[in-house]
Amino acid sequence: MREELKGPKVENVSVAIVEIPLENNEKEYIVYLLNFRDDIMEGIIVASTGYGENPQSGEQVKTSTLRKGIELMLPNEAARIEPIMPDLFDLTNEFWVSFWVNDVMYDKRFIFVPGSINEKEFKLIEILGYKGVVLAS
């Protein structure tokens, strides 16, 4: 592919899946977009989908594609994207992030492979104050 068609490299943007403790020892899992850039991200669109093989039945599974729009994110800001069910942790979970900075469009695919969303591997994500897993650009 020609280099000029690839677009600028996305840096200092991450997608995180965190565990939020609820009452009665229950947990909620939430997907966040993290802006560690020094500039403002605008016109952000996040498209998410899950796909893969159901471990119990062996059949192919594909979730609906969800889209989330965010007007802007300031430097060192986090934005809640969507909740995610633990049933989806055994699938490939893809988050395609597109945004504008100074009239330049950036986009990047963040892919959580099956097994990468594992509570045993969760670490504290300081910007959120919760434990989870992060995919960085």
CATH number at residue 67: 2.60.40
Number of domains in the chain: 1
The residue type of 79 is: A
Is 55 part of a structural domain of the chain?
yes
Whole-model pTM? 0.92
Asked if residue 4 belongs to a domain, the reply is no
Q: Is residue 12 part of a domain?
A: no
Residue 104: both structure tokens together: 């330049």
pLDDT of residue 129: 96
Q: What are phi and psi of 86, to 5 degrees?
A: -60, -25
Residue 130 and residue 19 in contact, taking contact as beta carbons nearer than 8 Å: yes
In a domain, 3, yes or no: no
Q: What stretches of 29-120 show up as alpha helix (H) in DSSP?
A: none
pLDDT, one tens digit per residue, over 67-125 is 999 999 999 999 999 999 999 999 999 999 999 999 999 999 999 999 899 999 999 99
- Amino acid identity, residue 76? N
Q: What is the pLDDT of residue 37?
A: 97
For residue 62, is it within any domain? yes
Is residue 95, in this structure, part of any structural domain at all? yes
Phi/psi for 90 (5° steps) reads -85, 0
Q: Which domain holds residue 121?
A: 18-136
pLDDT per residue as tens digits for the range 27-65: 999 999 999 999 999 999 999 999 999 878 889 999 999
Residue 6 lies in a domain: no
Note the pLDDT of residue 25: 87
Q: Give the per-residue pLDDT at 56.
A: 83
User: Would 11 be classed as within a structural domain?
Assistant: no
